Amino acid sequence: MTTLVHRSVTLVSLVGRLNPAALDGLIPHEAAHGVLGGLLAARAENVGGAAGLNPQPLPPVAAALRLSVARTVTAVANAAITARVSGGDARQILAEAGDDWCGTPHGRIPWPRHWPLPWPPDGPLPIDPGFATPAVQAQAALAFQGYANGIADEQLESSFGELAEKLADAALQGAG
């Protein structure tokens, strides 16, 4: 099934051929490339530090949020895959995460309730939720579509793809 999100992930993947860093946080490649997963973890530990060769680094808050989204997407996907393999309901796990991520804005950035928040639960947010929420949803949409594109299990492919579409719709609606 070719959808807008599917085509978008394909285009981003093509961009990644010239700039592999463009795929960080978007296309899940941690499980497929164990060494690369270690490199990503090492990069995550350096968030907020020196930007290396990037002359215009992301603000530390945005970079930390991007990494939190990537880690949470990986955790949600792994939970769904584990549920599917063990006879559980992967679709329910993904639907709950999608409902949480696409929930009604309430002054906070929507986040799957079964996973740790990237900020203190009662403290002030270091980034505007109206600005960050569509970006979080878009990044998660592209990453879940990456899982859909890369998995042989048809039920998981469908479930990941449905979640990607829901997140993409919410992101585009929230972007105005």
pLDDT digits (tens, 9 = 90+) for 131-172: 888 888 988 998 999 999 999 999 999 999 999 999 988 888
Residue 94 has pLDDT above 90, yes or no: yes
What is the CB-side half-sphere exposure of residue 3 using CA atoms within 13 A?
A: 20
Q: Letter for the amino acid at 121? A: P
Confidence band of 6 (pLDDT split at 50, 70, 90): confident
**Higher pLDDT among residues 37 and 114, named by residue:** 114
Rounded Cα distance, 90 and 171, in Å: 23
**Higher pLDDT among residues 18 and 64, named by residue:** 64
Calculate mean pLDDT across residues 82-98: 97
CB 172 within 8 A of CB 160: no
Calculate mean pLDDT across residues 6-30: 66
pTM equals 0.74
Rounded Cα distance, 173 and 144, in Å: 18
